[in-house]
Amino acid sequence: MSRGHLSGGQVGVYHLICAMTIDEIDGLVPKRDSKAQQSKDDGISVLLSHIEGVKNIPNLIIFGATNHRNMMDETFLRRMQAKVFVGRPSPAIRKRMLNPLIFKSSKIFTSEGLDSFVKITTNFSGAIKS
């Protein structure tokens, strides 16, 4: 590990970034309502307290991904430092994604065929590539 200067003239140790990704996090923190089960509320409370605890770890980043933000607990969402919306790819991006897939595996497609394919994939997500 290398040493470096922190603000205030202190000498400290640089730490590697540690990133944790939780996909479909809406399943862990569903919206609470008056009919919610107590065990579900308890689980959300435990997760919130753990998140509060890791705020003191400067090199830890937690990413959560969901397709259902509207179904998530509001308290949890308020405690998240940033929220980023990743929308559907534009026609130009879809063309760049589809081009290597189509021309790599087929000699039949032309550039006009690719343009048609881009049009019919409107509103498809980037996951279609996999």
Domain borders along the chain are: 3-79, 91-129
**Does 3.90.1640.10 match the CATH number of domain 3-79?**
no
Predicted confidence at residue 17, as pLDDT, reads 83
Distance (Å, rounded) from C-alpha 42 to C-alpha 109? 55
Q: Could you give phi then psi for residue 40, rounded to 5 degrees? A: -65, -45
Distance (Å, rounded) from C-alpha 41 to C-alpha 38? 5
Q: Does the pTM exceed 0.85? A: no
Q: What is the pLDDT of residues 21-44, one digit of tens each?
A: 889 988 888 887 756 566 666 777
